[in-house]
Structure 1
């Protein structure tokens, strides 16, 4: 909702409160003001000019040479390219030295040999959007009414010396979708009275009922329909002040009758519609549900096919409007209209919302009917519009209103005790303070002992329960004024569970290692749902998916992380490391799927890049494995984690390993298969995914400290010849098992598979460290254990020392 600061002053005294201060107060009271726009920002030196003479430019077919009175001693010559400039017009003139939006400065110039001392401006050149400029001036300059005086400030005449507040209204605050509703709100905030528009309506002796009959078949959809007849109207432009107020609210002016209906919509929040009475083709208005296949051509010249879900206004036989959404072209008010039938009605939100959605017609009227209008303002809005048509269109308002009224609306009555109010707010408000706030809101409040009973005006349909009253008190009292207290008691809430603390540590560790956290959809496509799944169950299909790409609950996080890498790679961010902790969804035969939290990561591109040192290190298997090993070490699980060579769909057959915790598979790590990398246009990419809940819920032994060894260790290196298909991890396990208590470490430091090696064999070198914390080992003791290790290697793996 766009709220003109100057227009708002018609209803509430805003003296001493700037637009920015008012925006701050409104925001603090619970309605967010998304911005304050200064309409004349960056504009100066623009006045009203009177075109005294206009002749064709001698050297240009599309330029005019104009002599313009700008209120100074002598008129000035201005060259103008607008096709609609003419003698006698009152126009906006940017004088020499003026500044227009975009810091465009006007200077004295020569155009095709003729001097130009200024610029005759269009509304677009004064900062207005083309969509709100009246159609007759969309391709040229704007022409003022003759009542203005040359030399006056054109910006002030156009009401551009104004500020517009943009309210970000939540669906429950439909009462502020109009100027009077905002005035009630501002009046309550500032503690000032609200002034209401005066309705000076004089009716003729002739009865409106002689011209029209109203019937309603769909009473639930349309419990109130009121029609007034205005005769002898003269269609023309609406007054300038009305046009400028509509434009400030984002609505394009059309003509006096249509502009008045839009003006009342903004002022009262009550949509109205004006029919050309003589085009109706009957003296009857019938409101009913549309028939299947029935059609109507709406004001936008589109042919619409209707269904029984849609409410229509008819002339007794054929539709002349889609109720509450848009009128029909067959009854449109145009330049020849002389009799207007004015509709003021209360429509239920459901059929309006249905028609608006089905036909893609989201109008200012449908928005208000969908959210709910004040039923007690319907007739008043119609009376106000009729009075304005009499004043500004020269119309004669016929006596009476023809209506159908089955509307039964009672204001909500809500009671609350002071004890409950103060308990909820943690305050000690008095009855006087509370009733004062309700009085500012224009709510009728009655007090019985400590109970306050409030009769809520029908304009505030959002107030229905005690909690609504508490919210009104809190926001008008001022959220900033609610006292601050600390929780009391022996145990305070807010502590993380051990699982939550560990999960937070995991995230911090991975971020410290250089990975970025990603948050991706939990939904995926049927094509990707089973890719990289640790546990393949029947995929879970959504009943009403928003698209085929988001139709299944995911079984793995990795496909989403690969999408993240692809998206960033297409934007030249080809070195990236991301991780995510999130749920996968497993069908367990029950009504709802089981959620299992996983941890996944994906890396691609360069891990280290120091161009000035000539150092570049691309991501590889061991970079990602090292990060994971560091994490499990910090979680005190490194001695319980194993990596076993594995093969898996979508993964590189020789660079993939299962991750085991206490011998149970909890995840995998490896390189994405080259064909998948090519499909995603990725460089070598490495990923892992594991069951985070099993990792974090694994019990750990109490912390055990070991003294620093006082005795030296002995290191022996061995180079073994073994079959190529025997994993290094298997050989290391055999070494550690055979080495017993004296063998403390065994690590790979070399691998050779080149020339002079037997086919199908490899040479792999280990460094073994022997040590006893209680004494110095002798060579004989080490040799004895070392020979036992070599024997075990030969017996269990066929590995022998390289000659």
Structure 2
């Protein structure tokens, strides 16, 4: 935001020198990026009057002028009447006109920041020219180089050009990011109010801003029928418009051009320049249309039609997308709402009737349009800061009055004020104790009220309490903490006491979820697995490779890269994608795990936002074939993890083929099991489909499992410790021959229950480990399953006889109940 100090001085006094002012702005308002001394560019330039203008004796396109500068420029040759001679090539030079003279030894302003061009007295086709008469372009007042700058005010020749137009000015460039929450600071009026406040002086906004006299159409025969239709009241809560007839469009006065130039705005014509001037003064963008180019004399706020396009100012052609706010007439789009007007309705030299617009647009819609079409205009910058719709009538009234004064014409329609639900002015109640506690100050409520009243936040103290009426332009003030911040800033953060606040040494409570994840990491790492961290976003092709439907995943419109277009539905595919790269890197056998999040379209929280599903995923892989099925390698790690978490009652049950999963589509249902704890599903473990293995180039020995983290947190128990048994344990192997219809899980569950009974009766401790599952090639109906059973007693050494007796009892029960014979 470029701030002109002289422009600000029109609203408030500034007593500080420029260096102190910049320091104070940096400390209490916003970071200053640059300070530009405008006056240096125009040093030595003089206002002069053309006295004579004669054709150059050696050129048809040049004239030899005698100019009157009041004799203020020294060391210049003059005639007997004291006039200086200048050769000029401008076609608009005429006797009596006032213009800017750049004498010898003075730098051309437009070259000041590039390669400075210093004017010298020199001979042009045989005639000496003492300096030059300047065009607007040479003065940095735009791009017009067709003629001299014609000064339209009665200024005494010899007056410094800098003094005449208050160009002894400094431009303070404040970083825009500092004002993201302060739309009022994108105008000189708001900046002046804040500078007054940080100088500890009261500011008073002009009456035209606080108490505008709303204008009515004058009685005239030149009435223009103007209609406004707002189809998007939620996105455009207020839209003001009026028409002015019989305007005279032409160059702006030099004073107006000078103010626009110094803040980086190129002058166009008096109507357009005034809309920009008022925007820069108030922070509220405006736009002017050529009424005669509007079909039907109407403005319609709507979404674009299919295939509709728009050529904006500057000639850029846009293909309008669904959801964009556009301004249209009865036939076509004429403007991109909140961003830029259309080229087809711009105000030019032939314009006679205009429509003035002052609207308020949804900040997010404007930001999206600016990003989508690559149009980052001054209007878009301001609308994306959430401008207050309550200032629109005052601003359009001021702009209309200025246009009537400078461009003539008459009001030709009433002020149309289309508005929906507007924000209500708020009152914030707080106390000096509340503020002082947070700032470490000892200010009274009266002192706080004075600071706030200086910036027109009307505040009345009552004892230690005070209430503040939020002015309509302060859209950032909503809660008592905002008042605390405002008082701290106005008082000066550098005045806050430099004392450390008291510290509470009470240790913070551990977050159960963080502690749980750390426990899982330690356990899996001790099992030999390696943790990886992958993106929560995946490419559409990965979803399809593992059989997942991308329609079930959230699609990211503004993705980090083309490879990260979708939220992942599960973590396992992300791990599987890393298997082949690790094998190529030379790792023959490994296990990978990740603790992360999954998202599924339709799974939302109470606020309707996508729910983050916490998961633990593990994949084991071996480049070379190994004995046994990879399923058991994955299950072994899963068993170890659950055991270390203190989760008992784990059961593995076959997958029901009729119940298909929309996320776990990569498992081979014949080689996969559901993991349950006391009937509650906590995950899946299994091998992967052949199609998935082929698509991701997985080795034949590869399996994995995924667990629900949030369920495990509730099921887990703290680690328990027991002393090491002083007596030796005894191992016995047990092999049972059973039908293939009897699952391994059912056999294991049966043996554990029998061992639990023996443990309760005799005090035994036990462990059971699977050793082998064997099926004879010629016997497809039966299988042989072998376990190693480890037994011990905490108080004595077990004898072989009693262990044999227990094993015999187990075999007998297995045969009677399961028809499983001991081999």
Q: TM-score, normalised by structure 1?
A: 0.59
Change (3 A) 1:441 1:69: closer
1:245 Cα offset (Å): 0.9
Distance 1:13 1:303, change over 3 A: same
Aligned to 1:49: 48
Which of 277, 287, 300 does residue 273 from structure 1 map onto?
A: 287
- Alpha-carbon distance in structure 2 between the residues aligned to 1:343 and 1:208: 19
C-alpha distance in structure 2 between counterparts of 1:298 and 1:407, whole Å? 30
Please state whether the residue corresponding to 2:39 is helix, strand or coil.
coil
After superposition, where does 1:351-362 map in structure 2 within 5 Å? 351-362=365-376
Tell me: CA distance 1:535–1:490, structure 2 relative to 1, closer, same or farther (3 Å).
closer
Determine if the alignment matches structure 1 residue 165 to structure 2 residue 172: yes
Residue 228 of structure 2 is matched in structure 1 by: 214
In the alignment, structure 1 segments of 5+ residues that lack a partner are: 494-533, 554-585, 594-803
Alignment of 1:204-603 (within 5 A): 204-206=218-220, 211-398=225-412, 400-447=414-461, 449-486=463-500, 540=535, 546=560, 588-591=593-596
Matched residue of 1:205: which SS? coil
- SS of the equivalent of 1:460 reads coil
TM-aligned CA distance change 1:456 to 1:344, over 3 Å? same
| Alpha-carbon shift at residue 481 of structure 1 (Å) | 1.6
Contact conserved, 1:13 with 1:192, CA < 8 A, in 2?
A: no
Of 70, 82, 92 in structure 2, the residue corresponding to residue 74 of structure 1 is 82
Alpha-carbon offset, residue 408 of structure 1:
2.1
Q: Any conservation in 2 of the 1:443–1:455 contact (CA below 8 Å)? A: yes
2:202 paired with 1:192: yes
Q: 1:210 to 1:88 in 2, by over 3 A?
A: closer
2:142–2:267 contact (8 Å) kept in structure 1: yes
Which residues in structure 2 correspond to 1:775-790 (within 5 Å)? Answer: none
Q: How many angstroms does 1:36 deviate by?
A: 2.2
Q: 1:2-81, aligned counterparts within 5 Å?
A: 2-14=2-14, 16-41=15-40, 43-55=42-54, 57-58=56-57, 64-72=63-71, 73-80=81-88
The superposition leaves residues 682-737 of structure 1 with CA deviations (integer Å, 9 ceiling, x where unpaired) of xxxxxxxxxxxxxxxxxxxxxxxxxxxxxxxxxxxxxxxxxxxxxxxxxxxxxxxx
What per-residue deviation string (whole Å, max 9, x for no partner) do you get for residues 740-776 of structure 1? xxxxxxxxxxxxxxxxxxxxxxxxxxxxxxxxxxxxx
What per-residue deviation string (whole Å, max 9, x for no partner) do you get for residues 504-559 of structure 1? xxxxxxxxxxxxxxxxxxxxxxxxxxxxxx989686585576458999x9xxxxxx
TM-fit CA distance, 1:221: 0.9
SS in 2 for 1:354: helix
Q: Is the 8 A contact 2:222 2:245 kept in 1?
A: no
Q: 1:536 to 1:134 in 2, by over 3 A?
A: same
Residue number in structure 2 paired with 1:118: 131
- How many Å apart are 1:17 and its aligned residue? 2.4
Could you tell me whether the CA contact under 8 Å between 1:235 and 1:256 is conserved in 2? yes
Which residue number in structure 2 is paired with residue 183 of structure 1? 192
Residues 468-491 of structure 1, C-alpha deviations (whole Å, 9 max, x = no match): 211111111111221222566798
2:100 is matched with: 92
Alpha-carbon distance between aligned partners in 2 of 1:164 and 1:587, rounded to the nearest angstrom: 59
Distance between the aligned counterparts of 2:341 and 2:503, measured in 1?
A: 64
Partner of 2:703: none
Q: Distance in 2 between matches of 1:394 and 1:535?
A: 79
The whole-number CA distance in structure 2 between the counterparts of 1:545 and 1:347 is 26
Q: How does 1:81-160 map to 2 (within 5 A)?
A: 89-98=97-106, 101=112, 105-123=118-136, 125-126=138-139, 128=140, 133-135=141-143, 137-138=144-145, 141-145=148-152, 147-160=154-167
Contact 2:339 2:380 in 1 (8 A): yes
CA contact (8 A) 2:62 2:88 kept: yes
Provide closer, same or farther for how the CA distance between residues 540 and 103 of structure 1 changes in structure 2, counting only shifts above 3 A.
closer
Verify the 8 A CA contact 1:208 1:228 in the aligned structure 2: no
Q: What does residue 518 of structure 2 align with?
A: none
Q: Distance in 2 between matches of 1:134 and 1:314?
A: 30
Distance in 2 of aligned mates of 1:421 and 1:538: 44
**Does the 8 Å contact 2:203/2:455 carry over to 1?**
no
Quick one: distance in 2 between partners of 1:192 and 1:176? 17
Contact 2:448–2:487, Cα closer than 8 Å, also in 1: yes
Match of 2:596, SS state, is coil
State the alpha-carbon separation in 2 of the partners of residues 104 and 296 from structure 1.
Answer: 42
> Structure 2 length as normaliser, TM-score?
0.57
Distance in 2 (alpha carbons) for counterparts of 1:341 and 1:291: 24
Q: Partner of 1:229: helix, strand, or coil?
A: strand
C-alpha separation in 1, matches of 2:222 and 2:430: 47
Q: Aligned equivalents of 1:251 and 1:293: distance in 2?
A: 33
- Name the CA distance, whole Å, in 2 between partners of 1:429 and 1:362: 43
469 and 545 in structure 1: CA distance in 2 versus 1, 3 angstrom threshold: same
Q: Deviations over 1:168-220 (max 9, x none)?
A: 23211222000111122122222133341646867412599961122111110
CA root-mean-square deviation:
3.6
Name the count of aligned residue pairs.
Answer: 518
Q: Residues 316-364 of structure 1, C-alpha deviation per residue, up to 9 Å, x if partnerless?
A: 3321211111112222211122211111111111222222111111111
Give the conservation status (yes or no) of the 8 Å contact 1:205–1:399: no
Report SS of the residue matched to 1:452: strand
CA drift at 1:163: 1.4
Shift of 1:49: 2.2
1:288, CA displacement in angstroms?
1.1
Q: Distance in 1 between matches of 2:454 and 2:221?
A: 41
Superimposed CA distance per residue, residues 658-680 of structure 1 (whole angstroms, 9 cap, x where no aligned partner): xxxxxxxxxxxxxxxxxxxxxxx
In 2, Cα distance between equivalents of 1:336 and 1:479: 55
Q: Which residue of 2 aligns with 1:756?
A: none
Pair 218,84 (structure 1): closer, same or farther in 2 beyond 3 Å: same
Residue 539 of structure 1 contacts residue 587 of structure 1 at CA under 8 Å; is this kept in 2? no
TM-superposed CA distance for 1:122, in Å, is 4.1
Name the structure 1 match of 2:701. Answer: none
Cα deviation digits, residues 424-465 of structure 1 (max 9, x gap): 111222111111112112113344554333222231112222
Q: SS of the residue aligned with 1:308?
A: coil
Between stretches 407-416 and 97-106, larger displacement belongs to 97-106
Write the distance in 2 (CA, Å) between the matches of 1:207 and 1:375. Answer: 32
Given that 1:209 and 1:402 are in contact with CA atoms closer than 8 Å, whether structure 2 keeps it comes out as: no
- The aligned counterpart of 1:174 is 183
Cα deviation, residue 92, structure 1: 1.6
* C-alpha separation in 1, matches of 2:533 and 2:31: 46
Change (3 A) 1:550 1:122: farther
d(CA) in 1 for partners of 2:444 and 2:375?
49
CA contact (8 A) 1:208 1:399 kept: no
Give, in whole Å, the separation in 1 of the partners of 2:262 and 2:53: 32
Cα distance 1:208–1:284, how it changes in 2: closer, same or farther (>3 A)?
Answer: farther
